[in-house]
Amino acid sequence: MAYHGAEFLGWQRQALGRTVQGVLESSLATWLRTEVAVVGVGRTDAGVHARNYVAHLEVDRELDAGEMLFRLNRFLPPDVVLLEAVPVDESVHARFSAVARGYSYRIQRQKSVFGRDTSWFYERELNETLLHEMAASVLGEHHFGAFERSGGAKTNGCCTLHRAQWVVADDALEFQVEGNRFLRNMVRSLVGTMVEQAVADRGLAEWNRVFSSQKRTESGPSAPAQGLTFAGAHFAVPLFDGRENPHFI
């Protein structure tokens, strides 16, 4: 499925406020005439989008995948679309069966009337060489405590990133990242700090100092939510012939 996150308070159901999970479960209840719980591949925060999101549900009757696709897309609002549906056995879990997830963050370099709601408009000059060096430095297994949202419960800050790169495309930059796990607010913190370092041209040594500090107070501000998109996930056994894998530009 895909969704435009501007009018959502994120994926996860909340007591008050519009969420993707809430809208999806409500549409399913209308169609099936019973309450259904949906499990997603991961959380996205308020304002964050998804182009290739995976979720699963358990029902006590057989459903036709084609009819489900047809019916739900007529119940769902315009900012959510179901792309494909397949039956799976009970061993498949959208969250726990995923072995890696991917995100993209888009920065628009020139002012435009289009794309403002899915990218961060940032026109100041950036040291692109430093951006590439910083991205390369986070590949592999590291502690990302410097980029985890502060104030929450302490977690294991170690993550393994299999992809981390900046791609230059026309008048835009896109940060593409894949990893076995991500901390809360990690991608937006990484992007915001990289941009802060690159615009000030502080050099790789200063970036390494911030990265190794493992303190959120040492890193920069988080990039705005609207530029972040969940790109997809990898599963040990492909669910949709690989369509669920992260899609980048």
Distance from first CA to last CA of the chain, Å, rounded? 18
CA–CA separation, 48 vs 41, rounded Å?
Answer: 14
- Determine which one of 45, 60, 89, 170 is catalytic: 45
87 Cβ contact list (under 8 Å, min separation 6): 63, 65
- Known catalytic residue: 89? no
Please give the Cα distance from 82 to 71 (Å, whole number).
10
Q: Cβ neighbours of residue 4 under 8 Å, at least 6 residues apart? A: 49, 79, 80, 117, 118
205 by Cβ neighbours in 10 Å (0-12 / 13-18 / 19+) ranks as: exposed
User: Please, what is the Cα angle at 50 between 67 and 179, to 5 degrees?
Assistant: 120
Angle at 63 between CA 238 and CA 27, to 5 degrees: 95
CA distance 70 to 75: 9
Helix and strand numbers, DSSP H then E, in the chain = 5, 11
Q: How far is CA 249 from the centre of its chain?
A: 15
Separation of alpha carbons 215 and 145, rounded Å: 6
Q: Which residues are catalytic?
A: 45
